[in-house]
Chains A and B, each alone.
Chain A
């Protein structure tokens, strides 16, 4: 099969003070083109002040089939949550 332009994942910071968020992906020959395309495709209405472009092949994703084992250890730790602790009602704002 013919070679295609690689896939890039695009992350955008909508304004300073907020984190970059994944907005989608696109194809581009290199990082510069990915950046230009990301600007044209994902920020046509002032959606961002900063863009990250990351080659999709460099992302390691967790396997949804293993979500059980992966996330189970945090399920039985209710004591990590504030509601675990019984305090009198008179105590406001804690």
Chain B
């Protein structure tokens, strides 16, 4: 048998169909590699940019208990970003290139992080809903076909559950508090609900990547399936809180065994994806500032390490 590209691609697909994992040094189609670099780095950027809206409230957390929890959560997100950058780098791209793609606006991150955190209740809503949505996506991805990505997801999923629980606890406390506190929680839900449903991406009918991604087992469920899972899981949680989900069309559908829900404003989604959400500029600016102002630290640490290595080499030679 010749090693033609077609044969290689066929045996690659056979491996995936058999449920084998693909490891970095294995042969893979160029598009599989490129799709993964795009998707995993986008995921990594989301973790890092996602630290910004929550970081905004660390100094203003209402108690020490809330503050240490939020600090730990935001630190976890930094760790998630790092696991994912490392997984991306196994595909032959450098960390610097990935960062530069983000800062140049060539790489995307989840559009949810382009919304502002206006009140303390937003921190509750983010943990409950944004991390809730992320968990649904990430649990699926623990079974994805690329080994380093799947392993990063297992590690991340172990850490996410506390994120959602601390968020729900914040919501619960507000909902059991004064009328004003409950209202603050309701307003937060009103603002975050629809952007959270958008997190799963465009509807299946319009999603350009879905078919190939399913074939390569990069995704195991479609955007719409995951979104439905999110709605079904969240409705009873909102009821428990005594909050109203801002969707007049939300209704249990007995025959489907799922909740029906209203139309998503996809114009808003594309507006935010294309850079015109409420905080896009601010987020990228914050990342650029951190990258540029940290440059001297990166250089100094490297210069110091090189000098130390030289010194050890010299004293060893003496």
A residues apposed to B, CB below 8 Å:
1-5, 7, 23-27, 29-30, 33, 40-41, 44-45, 61, 63-65
Contact of B83 among A1, A3, A24, A40 (CB under 8 A): A24
Find chain B residues with CB under 8 A from A29 CB: 301-302, 304-305
Contact status A44-B26, CB under 8 Å: no
Find chain A residues with CB under 8 A from B298 CB: 5
Contacts A25-B86, A41-B82, A61-B25: A5 and B76 contacting too (C-beta < 8 A)?
no
Find chain A residues with CB under 8 A from B308 CB: 30
Contact status A63-B302, CB under 8 Å: no
Contact of A44 among B75, B151, B302 (CB under 8 A): B75
A-B pairs, top 10 by smallest CB distance, nearest first, are: A29-B301, A30-B305, A29-B305, A25-B86, A64-B26, A29-B302, A64-B25, A41-B79, A4-B96, A24-B86
B136 CB to nearest A CB, Å: 22
Q: How far is the CA of A44 from the CA of B68 in the complex (A)?
A: 14
Q: What are 17 inter-chain pairs, A to B, with CB distance below 8 A?
A: A2-B96, A3-B302, A4-B96, A5-B301, A24-B151, A24-B155, A29-B302, A29-B305, A30-B304, A30-B305, A30-B308, A41-B83, A44-B75, A44-B76, A45-B159, A64-B25, A64-B27
Q: How many interface residues does chain B have, given as a range?
A: 20 to 34
Q: How far is the CA of A36 from the CA of B238 in the complex (A)?
A: 41
Contact of B86 among A1, A2, A3, A26 (CB under 8 A): A26
Find chain B residues with CB under 8 A from A26 CB: 82, 86
Contact status A63-B25, CB under 8 Å: yes
B residues apposed to A, CB below 8 Å:
23, 25-27, 72, 75-76, 79, 82-83, 86, 89, 94-96, 151-152, 155, 159, 298, 301-302, 304-305, 308-309
Q: A1-B96, A33-B305, A61-B25 are in contact. List 18 more A-B contacts (CB 8 A).
A: A1-B94, A4-B96, A7-B89, A24-B151, A24-B152, A29-B302, A30-B304, A30-B308, A40-B75, A40-B79, A41-B79, A41-B83, A44-B75, A44-B76, A44-B79, A63-B25, A64-B23, A64-B25
Contact status A65-B302, CB under 8 Å: no
Contact status B302-A5, CB under 8 Å: yes
Contacts A24-B83, A30-B308, A44-B76: A65 and B96 contacting too (C-beta < 8 A)?
no
B149 CB to nearest A CB, Å: 12
Q: How far is the CA of A82 from the CA of B151 in the complex (A)?
A: 33
Find chain B residues with CB under 8 A from A25 CB: 86, 89
Find chain B residues with CB under 8 A from A63 CB: 25
Find chain B residues with CB under 8 A from A41 CB: 79, 82-83
Residue of A nearest to B302 (CB): A29
Residue of B nearest to A4 (CB): B96
Q: How far is the CA of A14 from the CA of B95 in the complex (A)?
A: 28
Q: How far is the CA of A2 from the CA of B159 in the complex (A)?
A: 34
Residue of A nearest to B151 (CB): A24
Q: How far is the CA of A2 from the CA of B82 in the complex (A)?
A: 20
A39 CB to nearest B CB, Å: 12
Find chain B residues with CB under 8 A from A23 CB: 155
Q: How far is the CA of A26 from the CA of B80 in the complex (A)?
A: 12
Find chain B residues with CB under 8 A from A27 CB: 95
A51 CB to nearest B CB, Å: 15
Contact of B27 among A4, A40, A65 (CB under 8 A): A65
Residue of A nearest to B297 (CB): A29
Q: How far is the CA of A61 from the CA of B25 in the complex (A)?
A: 9
Q: How far is the CA of A65 from the CA of B3 in the complex (A)?
A: 12
Find chain B residues with CB under 8 A from A44 CB: 72, 75-76, 79
Most chain B CB within a 10 A radius of its CB, from A26, A27, A33, A65: A27
Contact status A4-B26, CB under 8 Å: no
Residue of A nearest to B298 (CB): A5
